[in-house]
Chain A
Amino acid sequence: MAPSFDTLTEQDFHEEEEEEIDFSDLKEQYEVKLEEGLDTFVVIDGLPVVPEDSRQKLVKFLLRKLNTIGHTSEDAVFMPLNDKGMSEGFAFVEYETPEQALAAVKQLHGVPLDKKHTLAVNKLMDIERYGREGRVEEEYHAPELEPFKEKEHLRSWMADAHARDQFALYRNDKVGVFWNNKSNPPENVVDRAHWTQLFVQWSPKGTFLASVHPQGVQLWGGASFSKQKQFPHPFVQLVEFSPLEGYLTTWSSRPIQVEEGQPILTFEEDGKNIIVWDIESGKPLRSFVSHDLAAPAAAEGEVQPKKKVQWPAFKWSADEKYCARMLQGQSISIYEVPNMNLLGRTSVKVEGVNDFEWSPATVTREGVKTYEQLLCFWTPEIGSNPARVAMMSVPSKEIVRTRNLFNVSDVKLHWQSQGAYVCVKVDRHSKSKKSMATNLEIFRVREKGVPVEVVDSLKDTVINFSWEPNGSRFVVITTGETPTGAAVPPKTAVSFFAPEKKGNIAGNFKLVRTVDKKTSNGIYWSPKGRFVVVATVHSQSNFDLDFWDMDFEGEKNEAEKDLAVNLQLMKTVEHYGVTDIEWDPTGRYVVSSASVWTHSMENGWNLHTFSGTTLSENPTEKFKQFLWRPRPPTLLSKEEQKQVRKNLREYSKEFDEEDRYAVDIANTAVVEQRKRVLSEWLAWLRREKEIQAEEREAFGLPEDVDSPKLAKDARAGNQQEGDTIVEEIVEEIIEETEEVIG
């Protein structure tokens, strides 16, 4: 019986409704995956069409190619024939493992078989998934072009009318970016809660702000700090930009586990710790397993200290053409960027290599015309061979200079920012290994034959060394012997070195001055040179910051007249619990900060001028990070910069005027604000009084309702206005004598 309207039951209605509901999305989600177990199969297309009898020959020929990747056999190749007894131009191949199948897809796809035929290799699963009927439309539709959307200018902050600098502030759960307003409160640009999970980091030219999450690294930029790029490295812990912001290295202690369907990470990345990313495309260039640094030898009976991660894992040449990493004690691997192939297909074997550093700038050595990047490395004493510091030219991998050293405990390599010098700080022990001393061996890279100068006027161990940026002066901090486990922090001495004046080139390095009995341990040069802050950080008892000027415009010390320096201590300030010191990129301001990551006492940050005048103090609860936004290098030519320097007076007049004006405006605003607040307050008081009086009248209460009731014995003074002055005359008899007259 055909259902008529009358005979329809409740159920029929429901059935109809059910049919209408579109379940396709659910079906898709819960569909049983048939392709499981087919991971080892690949489909090879693009084969020549052959008759049945020559099929065997073709399979054999094909197998030669296929077996270069993994293991398969004749039985595992299935080449179907059509009705006419001809092959169809494709074949199914089974590999031993899914990994081999994957590798085959990666490496054989697009590889020519002979002159006429090119292989097209796909996973069987992929063909199933994407190529099934209905999944591919019969007609070609041109992909729709997204309308052009203007992106935010990534360097918009450079166009600030007052040439202010930005900084990122990470405190509590919030990260904010602010404009520095000198002594006025900073102006907020963005402030977001939970912006990052671990820390934030600017890219070296300030274009991007990187936030770190368990899912990966996110780059932010533009005027509103919108999302720019994403690098999905799961559980990433460390991030490092290349010097020109082209690439990004990420590291996680957990090996990556690539899940099926991950759009960016491929099977390549499985089990790796380090990924080198191309920032522009957002794709990984290559991934690596990290080498751990050998832990320092543990004393007998002690637990072996934890292995340290080698970071930065990859060091970049100044022009980003090469990056390199070291396998401690064995070799340095230099990779060409962006294809990330080993330079010359092999690592450079350096027995015992302990550390290496690229030159931070592209230098031209005298007499060398061809392109080169330089790197320095050192090896400790092995057997009877001396310790060695060597300089290598890349790409030729030629050693251009070596120096042998004896009785070496440790070596640190310090390049000057323009690559003009390398200072090799050599910690030496005496034969008995009881006392330590430091030698500074300075390689003059630009001069012919790279001469080495030895500065050995230091008796003590050098704990810190720093070159003047773009200059040829340096500061070292030395410390004497301290009994181990002493509660008092060791006394240190700060020494300033400068070259002798000798025409255009810098002469020999000479000690300018040593300041004794300090506790300083940190050297912070202004990024523009000349000024340096020497400070005691991470200390429990001392927190001094000394602001030094290396070119003081005043009377010069007679003893130092041959040196290219005029040293002057400008100011000393204290910042309780200081842990970090950072110069702004223009060298105008210094921020000292106390981070909760180190201790939880009086966290916050203080802003000083380059000369040590404290502009503002900002105690901030749970303060974590203060980072100035770096600036890209100037676009002005040397001549233009000189011109600016020449006319500095005129410019400064303008700026002073502006400052005065700004202060005036601010003062007026404050006064206006106060006036308003005060009049509001007085009005409120008046209104309250009126209300009170009204209520009192309504209740018929006297004016002095709140005065003590039933207090008959209250003193009269209670009712009086003003103070009562009680005068008390105290008489004291000091001496009493009786005289009889007469």
Chain B
Amino acid sequence: MRPILLSGHERSLTQIKFNKDGDLIFSTSKDKVVCAWWSANGERLGTYSGHQGAVWTVDVSPNTVLLATGSADNTVRLWNIKTGECVKTWDFPTAVKRVAFSPDGSKLLAVTEKRMGFLGTIAVLDIAYGDGELNNLNVQAEEPSLRITCEDSKATVAGWSYMGKYIIAGHEDGSVSQYDPKTGDQLENVQAHEFDHQINDLQFSPDRTYFITASKDKSAKLISASNLAILKTYVADTPLNSASITAKKDYVILGGGQAAMDVTTTSARQGKFEARFYHKVFEDEIGRVRGHFGPLNTIDVHPAGTAYASGGEDGYVRIHHFDKPYFDFMYEVEREQLRK
């Protein structure tokens, strides 16, 4: 499993996303540049420049036509993936920490920061795809169709459940809540993680019936999207920044590490800068992948489950294509189940 090292960013990575086909990787970093890469060989396809501040988040439309990015310059930008031009800019009062397309690509949510007297919000934007021939992509709604304001604790991450039925958000206080995307009402709120331990990542399973959260409280949890029941808990020994569910195999990948400001010694041993693989069902740790020399900020898995990419505070993206033993590994119990 020789990694491909992508060194196109000058500052720490903030988010990585595979497109639905898995042939492209989009990465954002604090250096204001968004990069697109071929996942197979790590060649850089191009960059999307225009943001005036650190880019916090990226998402690809399901048909790989549009790219949405959110930045510390208080904007969400929509890009034509093919041409690299910015087709739309929305201005917000505060920085945008997370964007996510709905499963059918018709909506985009943006999580805004709580700052300067503005409460944290989740804004929903309607997305149009022009005439289908990549023309008129700049025809987009000006105003969000919905605004959800987080009165109690600001949202840090959010995403869509299957069929776009719910918006699920993770909060700064460690709770997870479920919203109705039509009315914006909060349907449910669960203190999934330890109180006051921020949720740093929230990623859905391929069928979007459940999702995984990664928190500062050193654990990741698998939670049902329909009723927010906690299904599984994965305990690590370091604060977690990211967690991802693998397709094809029943694993989850967690990433984190002591935050740079908390690292007292520079030894890599101390930082625990490793990607950790856990068995999704049995909650056992299976293995670790080393390589980064800073905390892992973001992890994404190839939609087909054949590779994963991690981005670190060290400014590198590492793509790992899984080897045969990865796919062969199986618990005796699973093998039995398969034979049945």
Contact of B132 among A576, A675, A685, A712 (CB under 8 A): A712
- Closest A residue, CB atoms, query B101: A708
Q: Check if A711 sits within 8 Å of B63, measured CB to CB.
A: yes
Check A193 for interface membership: any CB of B closer than 8 A: no
Asked whether A681 and B281 contact (CB < 8 A) given A696-B163, A705-B163, the answer is: yes
Q: Check if A677 sits within 8 Å of B282, measured CB to CB.
A: yes
Nearest-neighbour CB distance to chain A for B24, whole angstroms, equals 12
Q: Check if B21 sits within 8 Å of A717, measured CB to CB.
A: yes
| Among listed B146-154, B170-178, B332-340, interface-contacting one | B332-340
Contact of A674 among B106, B129, B333 (CB under 8 A): B333
Check A718 for interface membership: any CB of B closer than 8 A: yes
Interface string of A610-632 (1 = CB under 8 A from B): 00000000010000000000000
Interface string of B35-66 (1 = CB under 8 A from A): 00000000000000000000000000111110
Contact of A706 among B103, B265, B332 (CB under 8 A): B103
Interface string of A701-742 (1 = CB under 8 A from B): 100011111111111011000010000000000000000000
Contact of A711 among B21, B129, B165 (CB under 8 A): B129
Q: Check if B269 sits within 8 Å of A708, measured CB to CB.
A: no
Q: Check if B209 sits within 8 Å of A711, measured CB to CB.
A: no
Contact of B104 among A671, A695, A708, A718 (CB under 8 A): A708
Asked whether A713 and B304 contact (CB < 8 A) given A677-B281, A678-B334, A688-B224, the answer is: no
Contact of A709 among B105, B133, B207 (CB under 8 A): B105
Q: Check if A684 sits within 8 Å of B231, measured CB to CB.
A: yes
Contact of B270 among A601, A696, A707, A723 (CB under 8 A): A601
- Closest A residue, CB atoms, query B102: A706
Nearest-neighbour CB distance to chain B for A617, whole angstroms, equals 11
Q: Which residues of A contact B269 (CB under 8 A)?
A: 576
On chain A, the number of residues with a Cβ less than 8 Å from chain B's Cβ atoms is: 36
Check B237 for interface membership: any CB of A closer than 8 A: yes
Check A692 for interface membership: any CB of B closer than 8 A: yes
Q: Which residues of A contact B282 (CB under 8 A)?
A: 674, 677-678
Asked whether A705 and B64 contact (CB < 8 A) given A674-B331, A678-B281, the answer is: no
Q: Which residues of B contact A674 (CB under 8 A)?
A: 282, 331, 333
Q: Check if B281 sits within 8 Å of A708, measured CB to CB.
A: no
Contact of B162 among A601, A671, A706, A715 (CB under 8 A): A706
Q: Check if B270 sits within 8 Å of A708, measured CB to CB.
A: no
Nearest-neighbour CB distance to chain B for A732, whole angstroms, equals 18
Asked whether A695 and B65 contact (CB < 8 A) given A711-B105, A713-B132, the answer is: no
Check A663 for interface membership: any CB of B closer than 8 A: no
Q: Check if B226 sits within 8 Å of A688, measured CB to CB.
A: yes
Q: Check if B333 sits within 8 Å of A601, measured CB to CB.
A: no
Check B20 for interface membership: any CB of A closer than 8 A: yes
Q: Which residues of A contact B64 (CB under 8 A)?
A: 714
Check B208 for interface membership: any CB of A closer than 8 A: yes
Check A669 for interface membership: any CB of B closer than 8 A: no
Residue among A601, A602, A688 having the largest count of chain B Cβ atoms under 10 Å: A688
Q: Check if B226 sits within 8 Å of A706, measured CB to CB.
A: no
Check B260 for interface membership: any CB of A closer than 8 A: no
Interface string of A662-692 (1 = CB under 8 A from B): 0000000001001101110110110011011
Q: Check if B332 sits within 8 Å of A671, measured CB to CB.
A: yes
Nearest-neighbour CB distance to chain B for A722, whole angstroms, equals 9
Interface string of B262-292 (1 = CB under 8 A from A): 0001000110000000000110000000000
Q: Which residues of A contact B165 (CB under 8 A)?
A: 695
On chain B, the number of residues with a Cβ less than 8 Å from chain A's Cβ atoms is: 39
Nearest-neighbour CB distance to chain A for B267, whole angstroms, equals 9
Within 61-75 of B, Cβ neighbours of A (below 8 Å) are at 61-65
Asked whether A715 and B132 contact (CB < 8 A) given A619-B237, A708-B105, A723-B304, the answer is: no
Interface string of B319-340 (1 = CB under 8 A from A): 0000000000001111011000
Q: Check if B105 sits within 8 Å of A715, measured CB to CB.
A: no
Q: Which residues of B contact A692 (CB under 8 A)?
A: 162-163, 207, 209
Q: Which residues of B contact A576 (CB under 8 A)?
A: 269
Q: Check if B106 sits within 8 Å of A695, measured CB to CB.
A: no
Q: Which residues of B contact A684 (CB under 8 A)?
A: 224, 231
Q: Check if A714 sits within 8 Å of B63, measured CB to CB.
A: yes
Contact of B21 among A682, A695, A715 (CB under 8 A): A715
Check B1 for interface membership: any CB of A closer than 8 A: no
Complex alpha-carbon distance, A701 and B334, angstroms: 34
Q: Check if B63 sits within 8 Å of A718, measured CB to CB.
A: yes
Complex alpha-carbon distance, A713 and B129, angstroms: 10
Q: Which residues of A contact B210 (CB under 8 A)?
A: 688
Check B134 for interface membership: any CB of A closer than 8 A: yes
Q: Which residues of A contact B132 (CB under 8 A)?
A: 710-713
Contact of B62 among A602, A691, A708, A715 (CB under 8 A): A708
Q: Which residues of A contact B270 (CB under 8 A)?
A: 601-602
Contact of B163 among A619, A685, A706 (CB under 8 A): A706
- Closest B residue, CB atoms, query A722: B304
- Closest A residue, CB atoms, query B237: A619
Q: Which residues of A contact B336 (CB under 8 A)?
A: 675
Q: Which residues of A contact B103 (CB under 8 A)?
A: 705-706
Complex alpha-carbon distance, A57 and B336, angstroms: 108
Q: Check if A678 sits within 8 Å of B337, measured CB to CB.
A: yes
Residue among A671, A674, A679, A710 having the largest count of chain B Cβ atoms under 10 Å: A710
Asked whether A709 and B21 contact (CB < 8 A) given A684-B231, A695-B163, the answer is: no
Nearest-neighbour CB distance to chain A for B323, whole angstroms, equals 16
Residue among A602, A691, A707, A714 having the largest count of chain B Cβ atoms under 10 Å: A714
Asked whether A678 and B106 contact (CB < 8 A) given A576-B269, A711-B129, the answer is: no
Interface string of A509-528 (1 = CB under 8 A from B): 00000000000000000000
Complex alpha-carbon distance, A639 and B337, angstroms: 58
Contact of A713 among B128, B134, B224, B334 (CB under 8 A): B134
Q: Which residues of B contact A678 (CB under 8 A)?
A: 281-282, 333-334, 337
Asked whether A688 and B163 contact (CB < 8 A) given A674-B333, A708-B62, A715-B21, the answer is: no
Q: Check if B104 sits within 8 Å of A713, measured CB to CB.
A: no
- Closest A residue, CB atoms, query B225: A688
Q: Check if B63 sits within 8 Å of A708, measured CB to CB.
A: yes
Q: Which residues of A contact B334 (CB under 8 A)?
A: 678
Nearest-neighbour CB distance to chain A for B82, whole angstroms, equals 9
Q: Check if B62 sits within 8 Å of A711, measured CB to CB.
A: yes
Nearest-neighbour CB distance to chain B for A192, whole angstroms, equals 22
Asked whether A713 and B133 contact (CB < 8 A) given A688-B209, A706-B163, A707-B62, the answer is: yes
- Closest A residue, CB atoms, query B336: A675
Q: Which residues of B contact A671 (CB under 8 A)?
A: 332-333
- Closest A residue, CB atoms, query B272: A602
- Closest A residue, CB atoms, query B270: A601
Complex alpha-carbon distance, A696 and B336, angstroms: 33
Interface string of B106-130 (1 = CB under 8 A from A): 1000000000000000000000110
Q: Check if A601 sits within 8 Å of B265, measured CB to CB.
A: yes
Interface string of B192-235 (1 = CB under 8 A from A): 00000000000000011110000000000000101000010000
Residue among A602, A674, A685, A691 having the largest count of chain B Cβ atoms under 10 Å: A674
Interface string of B154-191 (1 = CB under 8 A from A): 00000000110100000000000000000000000000
Contact of B106 among A679, A710, A718, A723 (CB under 8 A): A710
Complex alpha-carbon distance, A705 and B281, angstroms: 28
Nearest-neighbour CB distance to chain B for A243, whole angstroms, equals 41
Complex alpha-carbon distance, A675 and B106, angstroms: 41
Contact of B226 among A691, A696, A705 (CB under 8 A): A691
Question: What are 17 A-B interface contacts by the 8 Å CB criterion?
Answer: A602-B270, A674-B333, A688-B207, A688-B224, A692-B162, A695-B163, A696-B163, A706-B103, A708-B20, A708-B62, A708-B63, A709-B106, A710-B129, A711-B132, A713-B134, A714-B63, A714-B64
Contacts beyond the supplied A705-B163, A706-B62: 6 A-B pairs with Cβ under 8 Å: A678-B282, A681-B281, A684-B231, A711-B63, A713-B132, A718-B63
5 closest cross-chain pairs (CB), A and B = A712-B132, A711-B63, A708-B63, A706-B103, A708-B62
A residues in contact (CB < 8 Å) with B: 576, 601-602, 619, 671, 674-675, 677-679, 681-682, 684-685, 688-689, 691-692, 695-696, 699, 701, 705-715, 717-718, 723
